């Protein structure tokens, strides 16, 4: 290709002035044509993979970023949940302040459907651990509420700080 461009350049500069002006007006077309020839002659290193179900969704969701601070008294527990649609996702991290021993906080990350009658709902546990921090990413397996149960087994009030960004809605309490 480099040799071809050099040859064309030499031919261009040796053309009579009247013809050179016409060529200048059309030079964009010449070089676009050369670029097309150049790309077409290169081997392709791509394999076209068909789109699989569950990869692309044309659905309008609202993206949110929230920082939630939750005081939790000694020997108390609470559940903090957000609302999500199936296939919605968020990334999160949480940490605890004023916890003397990380083993004194139990955290369960889970989600469940919203029950509309006396029939049993569905619940799914994503992660259970003891500690003073966690991070991750969730793709909601179903419409419902998803979040954390925290149990403070220490003798001090702690502060839990949750950072969450994604396709979720805070629940008014």
Per residue of the chain (173 residues), what is the pLDDT tens digit? 555 444 444 444 455 555 555 555 555 444 444 445 555 566 678 999 999 987 777 777 789 999 999 999 999 999 999 999 998 999 999 999 999 999 999 999 999 999 889 989 999 999 999 999 999 999 999 999 999 999 999 999 999 999 999 999 999 86
DSSP labels, 86-152? TT-EEEEEEEEES-S-GGGEEEEEEEEPPPSSSS---EEEEEEEESSEEEEEEE-SSSEEEEEEEEE
User: 95 with 128, same domain?
Assistant: yes
Q: Kindly state whether residue 78 falls inside one of the protein's structural domains.
A: yes
User: 31 with 68, same domain?
Assistant: no
User: 84 with 161, same domain?
Assistant: yes
User: 71 with 13, same domain?
Assistant: no
pLDDT confidence of residue 81: 97
Q: Kindly state whether residue 128 falls inside one of the protein's structural domains.
A: yes
């Amino acid at each position: 290709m480099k040799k071809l461009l050099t040859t064309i350049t030499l031919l261009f500069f040796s053309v009579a002035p009247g013809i050179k002006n016409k060529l200048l007006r059309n030079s964009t077309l010449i070089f676009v044509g050369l670029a097309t020839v150049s790309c077409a002659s290169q081997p392709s290193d791509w394999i076209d993979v068909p789109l699989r179900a569950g990869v692309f969704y044309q659905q309008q969701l609202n993206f949110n970023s929230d920082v939630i601070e939750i005081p939790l008294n000694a020997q108390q527990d609470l559940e903090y949940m957000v609302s999500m649609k199936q296939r919605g996702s968020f990334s999160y991290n949480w940490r605890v302040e004023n916890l003397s021993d990380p083993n004194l906080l139990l955290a369960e990350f889970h989600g469940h459907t919203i029950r509309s009658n006396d029939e049993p709902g569905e619940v799914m546990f994503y992660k259970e651990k003891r500690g003073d921090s966690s991070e991750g990413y969730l793709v909601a397996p179903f419409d419902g509420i998803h979040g954390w149960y925290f149990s403070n087994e220490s003798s001090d009030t702690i502060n839990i700080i949750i950072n969450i960004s994604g396709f979720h809605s805070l629940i008014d309490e």
